[in-house]
């Protein structure tokens, strides 16, 4: 029988490896920026077009490579980071497998220009689908520039699986943030389709966080610092009152490498227990320093998951460090039953010395003495005592006067708001536990969930306004100014047209601020920030690929926030209006989130309960 096992050709093996390393354009961005960091760069520039599908370029001023190294860097398992298996447990660099460039070159057109500092000229290398199509001497600045064009050009099926440009760009920005936060001492520039998205100068960690997530972030941060033999912790956590509905601003770095670890995340969340609202997530930027031999980072192709030797000790230390910071900076409430806030010294008087009170006493004063010798007498006028009797008060009144001529005010009702034959209508609905509305039908009764029912009514109303471009807006006397991160600002710009169809009016986008001059009729001014936060969290969790799904998510986000909540007391008129509006919708049986809005109970079912 013939042998059936054979070795795969190199270009096929590279494409298989590319499936592990390169999942989308963001994967290429991550590998190339990490290589630039490992090269000792102080300035790194990222340029993308069409969310990385057309072009990804990373330019750095690192140490560069020789012509031989440039050619070898595209071979599989070629790396300068490790030489023996033991080196895998002493890693201090980002990339070490030597598969990134080989995998990228297998599925794209790659052009590399690199020059070392002590060389006069550099090398240019062009590769298309793992085939070297050109290598020549070039005049290029110190460092390395890599262009990746036409990603997945030879694997159209993989290219078809890519999402829209908005989605892919968001993934690229996430990877960019993870590297930029880990290295605040490096200057980063990020350009998308010719426009500058980020310009991050070299600075400290706090300022780097502020530059990425907006100026308002500075007031949210609380420093965390702890040094032990097991782990060193440094970084910031966000104050509990700024907790968000999404997990966007949550970053763990182990030895300056971004990682995801649900166990450590639970440690931070448990430290915030009781301080944040339900279904909200606190933000944190925590850097952990661990002995490289105590962790294993080679368990996942993207190197975002790690294994620790002693996870339980790290959990306890991390949790206590976060709790300590919350208490140290008076973020967490402190119960002190002995303290009376009324006795606190005012701030303006804390540094002042108290004045000694002085009391002047006249030792010669005698209250029983009629006049004080040696001093002028003071004569007070005395009131004359009334000697008349009380009977004088009634002089002039005739006790025998006839009161029959006195007319009293009539108590007769001269008018009525309602006619006598008009009867007050009896209520047809009843609110049960401020949560359900009970009403009758021919076969029995209906029990309606007021929150879900109102969601259905608002959802169809908002969806109609968005799709037919018929949103009614109320103008604000004073425009609202809200602060967001640059990523959220870009998302709001994409949603601007759809939001304006619902009634929002945006007068200006300046830096990390949005100015809103008009809001929909159903929204109060105090609810605007809450609605937009909910909207952004929903869009970041579920990114639409078409205009209809965008309108659908927008309508769902608004109805989720604005619908009446369970526990809210409704008047009889509001109950009846809600019931009528619900059964006037296209699908009254379920909410926009596919949960039942009401249940029915027939008379027969009720009768059976009494058997």
- Record the tokens describing residue 134, joined without a space: 């050109």
DSSP tag of 35: H
**C-beta separation of 106 from 129 below 8 A:** yes
> Residue 76 pLDDT > 50, yes or no?
yes
Q: What is the average per-residue pLDDT within 81-86? A: 59
Helix (H) or strand (E) holding 459: helix 450-467
CB-neighbour burial class of residue 114 (10 A; exposed 0-12, middle 13-18, buried 19+): buried
pLDDT of residue 404: 61
| Residue 279, Ramachandran bin (φ over 0: left; ψ between -120 and 50: alpha; else beta) | left
**C-beta separation of 287 from 322 below 8 A:** no
Q: Say whether pTM exceeds 0.85.
A: no
> Residue 97 pLDDT > 70, yes or no?
no
* Rounded distance between C-alpha atoms, residue 575 and residue 431, angstroms: 8
pLDDT of residue 188: 94
* Rounded distance between C-alpha atoms, residue 201 and residue 186, angstroms: 7
Residues 6+ away with beta carbon under 8 Å from 255: 92, 288, 289, 290, 292, 295
End-to-end CA distance of the chain: 79
> Residue 231 pLDDT > 70, yes or no?
yes
DSSP tag of 293: G
| Residue spans per domain, the chain | 10-200, 209-328, 432-599
> Residue 6 pLDDT > 70, yes or no?
yes
pLDDT of residue 423: 46
> Residue 83 pLDDT > 90, yes or no?
no
DSSP tag of 244: B
pLDDT of residue 183: 93
- Of all residues in the chain, the percent with pLDDT exceeding 70 is 79
> Residue 292 pLDDT > 90, yes or no?
no
Domain at 432-599, CATH from 3.30.1370.100, 3.30.2350.10, 3.40.1110.10, 1.10.260.40? 3.30.1370.100
CB-neighbour burial class of residue 209 (10 A; exposed 0-12, middle 13-18, buried 19+): buried
Considering the domain delimited by 209-328, tell me its CATH architecture.
2-Layer Sandwich (3.30)
Segment 553-606, tens digit of pLDDT: 778 888 888 888 888 888 888 888 898 999 889 888 999 888 999 999 889 988
Helix/strand/coil for 310: coil
What is 10-200's CATH number?
3.30.565.10
- Of all residues in the chain, the percent with pLDDT exceeding 90 is 19
**C-beta separation of 309 from 295 below 8 A:** yes
User: Lowest-pLDDT range, 59-63, 201-205, 213-217, 431-435?
Assistant: 213-217
pLDDT of residue 33: 92
Q: What is the average per-residue pLDDT within 479-495? A: 82
- The CA–CA distances, whole Å, from 485 to 179, 213, 511 equal 17, 4, 9
- The CA–CA distances, whole Å, from 358 to 350, 355, 361 equal 22, 9, 10
Average pLDDT over the chain reads 80
Residues 6+ away with beta carbon under 8 Å from 270: 319
DSSP tag of 61: -
**Scanning the structure block, which residue is given the tokens 């689908």?**
129
> Residue 455 pLDDT > 60, yes or no?
yes
- Record the tokens describing residue 296, joined without a space: 């294993």
> Residue 381 pLDDT > 70, yes or no?
no
pLDDT of residue 263: 87
pLDDT of residue 82: 60
Length of the chain: 611
- Record the tokens describing residue 6, joined without a space: 């054979």
CA 294 to chain CA mean position, Å: 33
- Report the candidate in 529, 583, 602 with the shortest Cα–Cα distance to residue 561: 529
pLDDT band at 8 (very low <50, low <70, confident <90, very high): confident
DSSP tag of 242: G
DSSP tag of 141: -
- Record the tokens describing residue 32, joined without a space: 């190339």
**C-beta separation of 151 from 107 below 8 A:** yes
CA 36 to chain CA mean position, Å: 30
pLDDT of residue 542: 59
């Amino acid at each position: 029988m013939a042998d059936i096992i054979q070795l795969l050709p190199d270009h096929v093996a590279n494409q298989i490896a590319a499936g592990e390393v390169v999942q989308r354009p963001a994967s290429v961005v991550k590998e190339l920026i990490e290589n630039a960091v490992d090269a000792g760069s102080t300035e790194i520039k990222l340029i993308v077009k069409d969310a990385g599908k057309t072009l990804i370029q990373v330019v750095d001023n690192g140490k560069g490579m020789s012509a031989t190294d440039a050619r070898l860097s595209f071979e599989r398992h070629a790396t300068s980071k490790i030489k023996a298996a033991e080196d895998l447990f002493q890693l201090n660099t980002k990339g070490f497998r030597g598969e990134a460039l080989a995998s990228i070159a297998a599925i794209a057109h790659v052009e590399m220009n690199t020059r070392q500092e002590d060389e006069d000229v550099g090398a240019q290398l062009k590769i298309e689908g793992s085939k070297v199509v050109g290598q020549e001497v070039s005049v290029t600045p110190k460092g390395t520039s890599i262009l990746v064009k036409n990603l997945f050009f030879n694997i159209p099926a993989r290219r078809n699986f890519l999402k829209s440009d908005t989605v892919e760009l968001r993934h690229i920005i996430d990877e960019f943030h993870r590297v930029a936060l880990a290295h605040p001492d490096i200057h980063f520039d990020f350009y998308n389709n010719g426009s500058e998205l980020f310009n991050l100068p070299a600075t400290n960690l706090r300022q780097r966080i502020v530059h990425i997530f907006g100026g308002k972030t500075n007031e949210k941060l609380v420093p965390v610092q702890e040094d032990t033999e097991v782990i060193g912790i440094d970084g910031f956590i966000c104050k509990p009152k700024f907790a968000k509905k999404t997990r966007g601003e949550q970053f763990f770095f182990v030895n300056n490498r971004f990682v995801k670890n649900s166990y450590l995340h639970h440690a931070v969340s448990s430290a915030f227990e009781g301080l944040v609202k339900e279904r909200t997530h606190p933000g944190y930027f925590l850097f952990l320093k661990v002995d490289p031999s105590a962790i294993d980072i080679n368990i996942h192709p993207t190197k975002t998951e790690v294994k620790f030797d002693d996870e339980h000790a790290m959990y306890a230390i991390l949790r206590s460090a976060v709790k300590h910071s919350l208490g140290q900076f008076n973020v967490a409430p402190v119960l002190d039953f002995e303290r009376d806030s009324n006795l606190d010294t005012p701030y303006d008087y804390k540094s002042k010395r108290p004045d000694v009170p002085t009391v002047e006493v006249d030792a010669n004063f005698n209250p029983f003495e009629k006049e004080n010798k040696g001093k002028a007498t003071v004569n007070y006028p005395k009131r004359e005592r009334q000697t008349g009797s009380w009977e004088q008060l009634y002089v002039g009144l005739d006790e025998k006067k006839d009161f029959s001529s006195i007319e009293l005010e009539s108590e007769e009702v001269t008018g009525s708001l309602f006619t006598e034959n008009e009867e007050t209508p009896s209520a047809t609905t009843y609110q049960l536990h401020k949560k359900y509305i009970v009403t009758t039908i021919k076969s029995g009764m209906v029990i309606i969930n007021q929150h879900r029912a109102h969601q259905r009514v608002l959802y169809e109303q908002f969806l109609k306004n968005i799709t037919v471009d018929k949103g009614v807006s109320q103008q604000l006397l004073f425009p609202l100014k809200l602060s967001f991160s640059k990523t959220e600002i870009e998302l709001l710009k994409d949603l601007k047209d759809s939001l304006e169809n619902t009634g929002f009016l945006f007068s200006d986008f300046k830096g990390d601020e949005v100015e809103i001059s008009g809001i929909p009729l159903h929204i109060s001014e105090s609810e605007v920030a809450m609605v937009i936060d909910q909207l952004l969290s929903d869009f970041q969790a579920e990114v639409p690929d078409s205009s209809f799904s965008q309108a659908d998510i927008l309508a769902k986000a608004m109805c989720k926030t604005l619908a009446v909540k369970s526990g809210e007391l409704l008047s009889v008129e509001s109950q009846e209006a809600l019931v009528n509006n619900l059964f006037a919708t296209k699908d009254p049986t379920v909410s926009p989130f596919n949960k039942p809005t009401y249940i029915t109970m027939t008379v027969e079912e009720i009768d059976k309960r009494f058997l």
